[in-house]
Structure 1
Amino acid sequence: MKKIEGTIATVIGFTGCVGALRENTCLLATYSFILTSLLLLEMTLGVLSFIFKDWIKAQATGGFQAFIIHYRDDPDQQNLIDWIQEDWLQCCGIEGPKDWDRNNYFNCSSIEIGSSEACGVPFSCCKRETNTMNGITKNKQCGYNVRKPGNNRELEIHERGCIQAAEDWMDRNLLLISTSAVATAFTQILGICFAQNLRADIFAQKAKWH
């Protein structure tokens, strides 16, 4: 994904800068076309995300559920879910800690086979004051046994699910997201206008020569 983004940024920068410096109308047209395409794509995605927000929520829920099930099987998925739960949203599970019962390692029935993680949650579910030892070393066993009856888990782990936490995050940052989107669109429109004006000037100058 980063390679694709880097390639697009490089192409935009090259066509814009070289097209302007060399007064190359073909490169300027390419620059305008790319910016226009990106602008239309962003607008389309924005409208679709609003119209199909329930579908997006369902897809996110299904994806998160798959991440929980395969938490110990894929290191990349494990790191992603830990980042979401610990660093970004401070949440646990899809709707709450009980969702970790879907994972074979954290399922409460795994007590019978001697799993130390049975009836627990990953360390990323723990509140920050409980997942470190001496305020420095991360305690990756802080989530062990927290879902067993009788434990005051609300003192140790996050009770809020990540779907609700994501919705709350969107509500809190809606103004910032909207402002960033408008600023990005405005910048792209300016780039398109400048490129088209420069092309028109170049064509006008060439017409004088001929």
Structure 2
Amino acid sequence: MSGKHYKGPEVSCCIKYFIFGFNVIFWFLGIAFLGIGLWAWNEKGVLSNISSITDLGGFDPVWLFLVVGGVMFILGFAGCIGALRENTFLLKFFSVFLGIIFFLELTAGVLAFVFKDWIKDQLYFFINNNIRAYRDDIDLQNLIDFTQEYWQCCGAFGADDWNLNIYFNCTDSNASRERCGVPFSCCTKDPAEDVINTQCGYDARQKPVHGLHWGSVSSRWEGTSRAIANASMDSAAPLPYLSSWPLLQPPPLSLNGIKPSSETVLTQSKSF
């Protein structure tokens, strides 16, 4: 390995091998993320037809694995080899890379607070654009379902956002059985049921159906944006903000900030 080596006082072996071991784990995690991403693209046939990357109308979650895996791989490699070989070039690269991540997180926290209305509009546009592509990609579908289940919401502004999807819209020309409905992930979790009822959202917007998440992303945004800003400015570190995760838990189910009465909660729902 070329590059200047550390020529100062002897570095503690404990510190040296601790940093080395930590970065080895980080490095292998990056390889794992990259492997999962490439495997997913291979299953979709993207690797055999690169031009198909642009065919998906919505966001492909595989990009998350590839980008995160790539960053982890580069950081892990630089930190691992730099610590083991005491290579000053790689160690400086590692430090600068971490500094850039630190700065980007701090900047993101400030921007999320200052331009929260603009970010909110972009978030709604992003969500609705992916609602249109809900059935186009199984990974995107799973991501949307997970988000709606976790945050107990249905669409960006509400359940009617699903009118943007060709399978769920209420137009007379739509012959789908899911017409005027919502995905099963909009349904309320019922711990008494062991089987997922994937049909619980049928006709949900055509007739009164209880047991659904009638809340929206808009009712969750204010608290979440503040939590992200606080986490970024308080910690501003490249590792997860463990102390801030409780702030990101979904708030109580509500519709435009108003909690539903007990009469609106129904037993007919589903389990996940």
Q: 1:98 aligns with which of 160, 164, 181?
A: 160
**Identical positions, percent:** 42
3-state DSSP of counterpart to 2:171? helix
Report what 2:220 is aligned to: 165
Alignment of 1:127-166 (within 5 A): 127-129=188-190, 135-149=193-207, 151=208, 153=209, 155-166=210-221
Q: Is the 8 A contact 1:92 1:158 kept in 2?
A: yes
Task: Report deviation, 1:167.
Answer: 3.6
Structure 1 CA distance, aligned partners of 2:108 and 2:225?
16
**Secondary structure, aligned partner of 1:91:** coil
Letter in 2 for 1:156: G
Query: Cα distance 1:51–1:25, how it changes in 2: closer, same or farther (>3 A)?
Result: same
Counterpart of 2:170 in structure 1: which amino acid?
Answer: C
Name the amino acid aligned to 2:204: V
Counterpart of 1:37 in structure 2 is 100
Which amino acid in 2 is paired with 1:107? Answer: N
Contact residue 79 and residue 90 of structure 2 kept, 8 A: yes
Give the Cα separation in 2 of the matches to 1:67 and 1:175. 22
Q: In 2, are the aligned partners of 1:93 and 1:100 still within 8 Å (CA)? A: yes
How many angstroms apart in 1 are the aligned matches of 2:133 and 2:163? 12
Q: What is the identity, as a one-letter code, of the residue corresponding to 2:216?
A: G
Give yes or no for the alignment of 1:24 onto 2:68: no
Q: Which residue of 2 aligns with 1:122?
A: 183
| TM-score (norm. length: structure 1) | 0.70
Tell me how far apart the structure 1 counterparts of residues 119 and 228 of structure 2 sit (CA, whole Å): 21
C-alpha distance after superposition, 1:158-198 (max 9, x if no partner): 11112323444455xx2896289517269xxxxxxxxxxxx
Provide structure 1 residue ranges, at least 5 long, that are not aligned to the other structure: 187-210
TM-score (norm 2): 0.55
Note the residue ranges of structure 2 that are not aligned, 5 or more in a row: 1-63, 240-272
The answer to whether the 8 A contact 1:89-1:169 is kept is no
8 A Cα contact 1:91 1:158, kept in partner? yes
In 2 relative to 1, CA 182–28 (structure 1 residues): closer, same or farther, beyond 3 Å?
A: same
RMSD: 3.0
Q: Secondary structure at the match of 1:63?
A: helix
Q: Distance in 2 between matches of 1:14 and 1:113?
A: 53
The one-character-per-residue Cα deviations of 1:16-45 (angstroms, maximum 9, x if unpaired) are 343344333222222222222222222222
1:181-196 to 2 correspondence within 5 Å?
A: 182=235, 184=237
Aligned equivalent of 1:5: 68
Partner residue of 1:74 out of 137, 149, 152: 137
Which residue pairs with 2:30 in the alignment? none
Per the alignment, in what secondary structure is the counterpart of residue 107 of structure 2?
Answer: helix
Aligned to 1:194: none
Structure with the bigger percentage of helix: 1
- Name the larger-Rg structure: 1
For the 8 Å contact 1:121–1:144, the answer to whether it is kept is yes
One-letter amino acid of the counterpart of residue 124, structure 2? T
Answer whether contact 1:69 1:102 (CA < 8 A) is retained. yes
Q: Which moved more, 1:63-72 or 1:175-184?
A: 175-184
